[in-house]
Structure 1
Amino acid sequence: MSSALADANLCIRGYPAHKCLLPGEAHNENSKNKGIGALTQKEIVTLIDALKGGTMQVFKVDKAHRGEFCLPFNMHFWVLTSCVAAVMASERPVITGIAPPPEWPHEGARRLFANGDTDYHGPVRLQPSSAATKVKKEKSASGPSPTLR
């Protein structure tokens, strides 16, 4: 799927990669199905919710990378061509994950490139909220709750 997206000059941003497989992956080594065919019902619902909620979006490559490559106020053909070439050469990701939660073991979100390679250099994981940290501290400081008899 990653090469199909690159061929169509499309990229996906906000993919919930910390909750479901990236296209071309399988849950285990013995599984024959990959990508969409290998997703569980929970993962499919996660993808649908991300699309409906607007957190996952599909972009044309020229629009997705316009701010990073073009000169101010105009879009030159060679700039658009360099955007597409960067994706095709796997220098730019085809799929970028959404920022993962604080408990995610890696520093950043997963990214998938046109050649099928992945890395963890996407958006950095979210910081724990001070409210959640405060609640955890209060629970641990008070000790176990008394039981009723």
Structure 2
Amino acid sequence: LGQNALVCINWPDGVLLPGQERSSHSKPKGISDLTILECTQIIAAIRDNGPHKLHFKFDPYSKLLLLATGANLQLADLLASKKPVILGTLPLHDSKSSKGKRIFFSGKTDYDGPACLPNPAMS
């Protein structure tokens, strides 16, 4: 994703992230590592027509072109892990995390993404 200036936005909470391995399998096979529930969550997120729809955004401004000694392309922000390549969706109000999960090009993850959804019972 990062190498192509793509950012994944609203990855479903609790679904295995791309590149992560499920510890219960000896030979991970990418998407085949997902459970049926996780596949269902991804499909629902893609079909969502609201603000939490799973989508990809092209971020061409995350790349810098330096012309110091010829055409020297330096990938910034995404490749330097200053910006996440995957932003998790907002966690539910009763989630253990108060903010959404983010994963960076380096493989580092944190929970400094968007804040939790409000409790619907409090509205």
TM-score tier (shorter): 0.7 to 0.9
Q: Secondary structure at the match of 1:14?
A: strand
Equivalent residue number for residue 26 of structure 1? 21
Give me the TM-score of the superposition, normalised by structure 1.
0.65
Shift of 1:37: 2.8
Taking structure 1 as reference, are residues 100 and 34 closer, same or farther at Cα in structure 2, changes over 3 Å only?
Answer: farther
Instruction: Determine which structure has the larger helix proportion and give its number.
Output: 1
| Cα separation, 1, equivalents of 2:44 and 2:120 | 23
Give me the TM-score of the superposition, normalised by structure 2.
0.77
Shift of 1:115: 1.0
Q: Say yes or no: does 1:129 pair with 2:120.
A: yes
Taking structure 1 as reference, are residues 30 and 41 closer, same or farther at Cα in structure 2, changes over 3 Å only?
Answer: closer
One-letter amino acid of the structure 2 residue matched with residue 49 of structure 1: A
Q: Is the 8 A contact 1:21 1:35 kept in 2?
A: no
Q: Secondary structure at the match of 2:106?
A: coil
Q: Is the 8 A contact 1:24 1:34 kept in 2?
A: no
Equivalent residue number for residue 81 of structure 1? 64
Between the two proteins, the alignment pairs up a number of residues equal to: 111
Shift of 1:96: 0.1
Percent of aligned pairs with the same amino acid: 31
Taking structure 1 as reference, are residues 35 and 108 closer, same or farther at Cα in structure 2, changes over 3 Å only?
Answer: farther
Provide the alpha-carbon RMSD of the alignment: 2.3
| Cα separation, 2, equivalents of 1:125 and 1:34 | 31
Q: Say yes or no: does 1:6 pair with 2:23.
A: no
Over residues 11-34 of structure 1, what are the superposed CA-to-partner deviations in whole Å (9 max), with x where a residue is unaligned? 011111x23111122332654316
Q: Is the 8 A contact 1:26 1:38 kept in 2?
A: yes
Q: Say yes or no: does 1:48 pair with 2:43.
A: yes
Shift of 1:131: 5.3
Structure 2 alignment gaps of length 5 or more: 66-74
| Cα separation, 1, equivalents of 2:108 and 2:30 | 14
Instruction: Determine which structure has the larger strand proportion and give its number.
Output: 2
Q: Is the 8 A contact 1:10 1:60 kept in 2?
A: yes
